[in-house]
A and B are shown apart, each in its own frame.
Chain A
Amino acid sequence: MSEALLRVEDLSVYYGMIRALKGISFEVNKGEIVSLIGANGAGKTTTLHTITGLLHPKEGKVFYKGEEITRIPAHKIVSMGLVHVPEGRRIFQGLSVYDNLLLGAYSRKDKDEIKENMEKVLAQFPRLAERRTQLAGTLSGGEQQMLAMGRALLSNPELIVLDEPSMGLSPLLVGEVFEIIKSFREAGKTVLLVEQNAKKAMSISDRAYVLENGEIAMSGDSRELAEDERVRKAYLGA
């Protein structure tokens, strides 16, 4: 079996005395959409933050493309093709839409390709193109999520890590966001998705991991997991 794109090994993370992750391991293969589901406080966001270097684990390792990235500072990880779309979008409100997108390409030097990439993103998100000179803070919630995802695309990533992309959006927009995530796969990208909306997440993902109290409780094929009695009761509201 070939090396997974992202492999997490025995990750333990502490907040002071509290152990937020208790030695979790999982992997994401190239071309997959993998979802990480679980209740509030289960450790989903902590996992993502540790992968992209915002947090450092006490024990365990993170491998990306076979290379260990556990101790690599967060700002150097983007240029390796691993981008993180954080919870709550975290767009730069005081900058224009266009400047936000440009910041997505901050770590790239290839000017022509950035330009090409920019055109592609603006074509994919016409509403961003219309509002390109507007301050990002004036966008609606849905538009801000588009901006956050478009911004991530401008780093030309191979693996996109998404944290609660559907949070606070209307059902119509939620559908749109999940369509965009599917389109990432069609464009040859790999996705690691953290979602409260487990039903939706499992419907578009290939595999899923269920996180409970900082440990991986279950894992497997998304469709099979969605049939599981425990998962259905706890996360799918059935």
Chain B
Amino acid sequence: MNFIAAIINGLSSGGTYAIIALGYTMVYGIAKMLNFAHGDIIMMGGYAMYIALSLAGHPILALVAGIVFCVLLGVAIERYAYKPLRGAAPLAVLITAIGMSYLLQSLAQIIFGSAPKMLVKLQVPGFFMIGSLRVDYSTLITLIVTVVVMTALTVFIKKSKPGRAMVAVSEDRDAALLMGINTNAIIAITFAIGSALAAVAGYLMLMKAPSLSNTLGAMPGIKAFTAAVIGGIGSIPGAMVGGILLGVVESFSYSIPALAPFTEAVEFSILIVVLLVKPSGILGKMRREKV
């Protein structure tokens, strides 16, 4: 029974990682950059939800506020910090993204202080039993949201015109331009989608543990990012697989007493093992080098 409980918990936290990892992987695939600030967008969304909750008081309104704020923030960051560096050395873009992450974290602490805010209204108490197995409602909601998000995103990418354009831009930006695709607009859309997903992930995280501080997104961000690389950075199914895998491994590691304190080390070690065995990640394709 412990085994099944570990799997269910793993799927649930893995789903959250996967939703965050999607943001990393889409931005990487299309803008060819690691958006280090992605995890901190989650955190900023958390504060938007906090404000919305104290003004309006309804969780759904808070979610909407979080999504809107994250989309605006993500697009603004892309426009003002990353876009000027398009065509510059990848290292420069990476360092700017790191600076942005640092900036958001310190900004949040200055505005809201370091004492955590409790968003108890987001909590969903209660559980139900399957046999002797206890399943929290919050776990169930997370699983449902994960499935919905992944399905919707997959359909969007495969079937919609902007989705096709996103794939085209990620494969070959110049060729996409020659098709008449406004690549700048597609990159902005990608940031918008990624940031909206970050807000959703933030909501799921706060639903389970309502304590919000300026480092809310830091560790989940790094882990989800690891998950994206494990699954194959740039690959959307890869982010899903990587996220779920990381969540399940984490959950199992926590359930084994001897391993529990080293869970983070275990998680990051998977990354190194995967990169040694298959450098492009589980579902990733090796990028061809352009001369």
Complex contact flag A–B (Cβ < 8 Å): yes
Contact residues of B: prevailing secondary structure: helix
Q: Is B161 an interface residue (CB 8 A)?
A: yes
Q: Smallest CB–CB gap between B11 and chain A, Å?
A: 28
Asked, given contacts A103-B165, A106-B161, A106-B165, whether A90 binds B177 with beta carbons under 8 Å apart, the answer is: no
Q: Are B183 and A75 in contact (CB under 8 A)?
A: yes
Of the candidate stretches A28-36, A78-86, A168-176, the one touching chain B is: A78-86
Interface centre among A52, A76, A83, A94 (most CB of B within 10 A): A94
Enumerate B170-203 residues with CB–CB distance to A below 8 Å.
171-172, 174-183
Residues in A with CB closer than 8 Å to B285 are 94
* Contact among A52, A78, A94 with B171 in the assembled complex (CB-CB below 8 Å): A94
Chain A 85-106 interface residues, beta-carbon cutoff 8 Å to B: 86, 90-95, 99, 102-104, 106
B177 touches A75 (CB 8 A): yes
Say if the beta carbon of B164 comes within 8 Å of chain A: yes
A-B contact count (CB 8 A): 65
B181 touches which one: A52, A106, A151 (CB < 8 A)? A106
- Check B168 for interface membership: any CB of A closer than 8 A: yes
Please indicate the chain A residues that have their CB under 8 angstroms from the CB of B182 in the complex. 73, 75
Given A99-B164, A102-B164, A106-B161: A92 in contact with B171 (beta carbons within 8 A): yes
State A83–B177 Cα separation when bound (angstroms).
11
Binding site for A on B (CB under 8 A): 161, 164-165, 167-168, 171-172, 174-183, 285
- Offer 9 A-B interface pairs, CB within 8 angstroms, sorted by A: A74-B177, A75-B179, A77-B180, A86-B175, A92-B175, A94-B167, A103-B168, A103-B176, A104-B179
In the complex, the 10 A-B pairs of residues with the closest C-beta atoms, listed nearest first: A107-B180, A78-B180, A90-B175, A74-B177, A75-B182, A103-B179, A106-B179, A92-B171, A84-B178, A106-B180
